[in-house]
């Protein structure tokens, strides 16, 4: 039996996670009756309120012992004044570090029914289905040395160091090729190899790893061009793999192309496929407690959990098809409703997905 740690967190977290549990707990998700051992623990502001720590030791232990983690969202105005180590978002940073979650997978999928939500023309984005694989633990965000010093001329100078070891590049490349293999088998590696030494090594290592995946078509693109191509013709991409900083920027750009923050899931994986799955949005304090939040990003995160950590690809496909079906049926939470369209509550959307699973 697989163990799932469920960490609802703050704001809309408990609402969207409750709706998602009704999907994940369905035995009929798999042909042989999916059986999961699901346990919940407080995290973020809720962790601080319960145990004085955004990531209480018992929550970390539960996450360590689980095969996968479903995470809601953390944060809220009442925690904003806490000292940094007690802030809700520390829970996520510490979980990533403690569990060695180095690969961030962010799909940017645009459902044809929601094409009008994008700021781009519907024909440019309708049917877009991109997966961005971002390295999460290295690069200029963590490289040493870094700091602010005073030069000999007496002027202050800020500096950071972009670094990647071969091993770090190799493991994210394997994750990305593996993901591409499960999709349309096209991988675009994004770098800045015309300017940066780090990127030259990145390109060399990704190319070498690619020889182990002859069934996946590998291309390379400079990051400035990738930023343009995402706006010009996003449907050309299947999977994109890139470093931490370029991935930070491109994954936000790609997700905004969909125009629907309540629809986008994500995964952060370790080298053995264990992962933390969460919607890309935050705890939405402005709508918390009203029962109106869109649970689909979290339900789609559970689909990724089934695919990447439990190896249940068929069940993941079924959940994703059920989400498409409820959109086709016209169900809309407030965030994805067009003006004048009827809006449904979080629990109604969750129940509709369960019903659409058949
Ligand atoms: P947010 O993503 O919480 O909300 C932005 C806007 O999108 C809000 O208007 C919100 O109502 C709406 N929205 C978000 N998710 C929605 C959903 N599922 N259904 C319907 N509408 C939705 O971002 P924010 O307002 O910048 O941040 C709020 C809090 O969340 C802050 O404390 C921030 O630190 C935290 N945060 C947490 C995470 C995380 O847990 N991973 C990520 C981002 C922000």
| 358 residues of the chain, pLDDT tens digit each | 899 999 999 999 999 999 999 999 988 888 888 889 999 999 999 999 999 999 999 999 999 999 999 999 999 999 999 998 999 999 999 999 999 999 999 999 998 888 888 889 999 998 899 999 999 999 999 999 999 999 999 999 999 999 999 999 999 999 999 999 999 999 999 999 999 999 999 999 999 999 999 999 999 999 999 999 999 999 999 999 999 999 999 998 998 898 888 999 999 999 898 999 999 999 999 999 999 999 999 999 999 999 999 999 999 999 999 999 999 999 999 999 988 889 999 999 999 999 999 7
Number of H helices and E strands in the chain, helices first, is 12, 12
Look at ligand 1, atom 38, and give the residue with the nearest C-alpha. 282
> Which residues are within 8 A (CB) of 319 and not within 5 positions of it... i.e. 6 or more apart?
23, 29, 299, 300, 302, 303, 306, 353, 357
Q: Is 141 a catalytic residue?
A: yes
- 1-107+261-358, CATH topology level: Isopropylmalate Dehydrogenase (3.40.718)
> Relative to the CA of 9, which ligand 1 atom is closest?
40
How far away, in angstroms, is 291 Cα from ligand 1 center?
A: 15
Closest CA to 237 of 194, 182, 279, 185: 185
Where are the chain's structural domains? 1-107+261-358
DSSP-H helix ranges across 110-222: 122-125, 166-181, 197-210
Q: Which of 17, 104, 279, 281 to mutate to test the pocket of ligand 1 (most atoms within 8 A of CB)?
A: 281
> Which residues are within 8 A (CB) of 119 and not within 5 positions of it... i.e. 6 or more apart?
256, 257, 259
Closest CA to 105 of 167, 181, 166, 172: 172
Both tokens assigned to 155: 């002027």
Evaluate whether 177 touches 210 at the Cβ level (below 8 Å): yes
Annotated active-site residue in 86, 141, 235, 325: 141
Measuring from each residue's beta carbon to the nearest atom of ligand 1, which residues come in under 6 Å?
A: 12, 16, 73-76, 89, 92, 261-262, 278, 281-287, 293-294, 297, 333, 335
Burial class (CB in 10 A: 0-12, 13-18, 19+), 142: middle
> Which residues are within 8 A (CB) of 33 and not within 5 positions of it... i.e. 6 or more apart?
27
How far away, in angstroms, is 283 Cα from ligand 1 center?
A: 5
This prediction has a pTM of 0.93
CA distance 30 to 9: 28
DSSP-H helix ranges across 25-165: 45-51, 57-65, 89-99, 122-125
């Amino acid at each position: 039996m697989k163990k799932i740690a469920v960490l609802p967190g703050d704001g809309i977290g408990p609402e969207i996670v409750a709706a998602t549990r009704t999907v994940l707990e369905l035995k009929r998700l798999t042909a042989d009756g999916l059986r999961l051992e699901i346990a919940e623990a407080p995290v973020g502001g809720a962790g601080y309120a319960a145990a004085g720590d955004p990531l209480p030791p018992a929550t970390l232990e539960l996450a360590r012992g689980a095969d996968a983690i479903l995470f809601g969202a953390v944060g809220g105005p009442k925690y904003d004044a806490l000292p940094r180590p007690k802030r809700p978002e520390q829970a996520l940073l510490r979980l990533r570090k403690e569990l060695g979650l180095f690969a961030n997978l962010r799909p940017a999928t645009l459902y044809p029914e929601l094409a009008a939500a994008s700021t781009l023309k519907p024909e440019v984005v309708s049917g877009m289905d991109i997966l961005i694989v971002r390295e999460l633990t290295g690069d200029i965000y963590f490289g040493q040395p870094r700091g602010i010093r005073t030069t000999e001329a007496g002027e202050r100078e800020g500096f950071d160091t972009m670094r990647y070891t071969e091993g770090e590049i190799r493991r994210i490349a394997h994750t990305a090729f593996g993901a591409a293999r499960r999709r349309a088998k096209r991988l675009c590696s994004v770098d800045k190899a015309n300017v940066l030494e780090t990127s030259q090594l990145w390109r060399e290592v990704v190319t070498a790893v690619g020889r182990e995946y002859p069934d996946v078509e590998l291309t390379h693109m400079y990051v400035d061009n990738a930023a343009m191509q995402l706006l010009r013709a996003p449907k050309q991409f299947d999977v994109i793999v890139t470093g931490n900083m370029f991935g930070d920027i491109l994954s936000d750009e790609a997700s905004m192309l969909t125009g629907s923050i309540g629809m986008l899931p994500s995964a952060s994986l370790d080298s053995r496929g264990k992962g933390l799955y969460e919607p890309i949005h935050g705890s939405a304090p402005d709508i918390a407690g009203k029962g109106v939040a869109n649970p689909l990003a979290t339900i789609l995160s559970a689909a990724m959990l089934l695919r990447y950590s439990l190896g249940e690809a068929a069940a993941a496909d079924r959940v994703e098809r059920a989400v498409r079906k409820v959109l086709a049926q016209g169900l809309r939470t407030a965030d994805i409703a067009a003006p004048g369209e009827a809006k449904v509550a979080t629990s109604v959307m969750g129940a509709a997905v369960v019903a659409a699973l058949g």
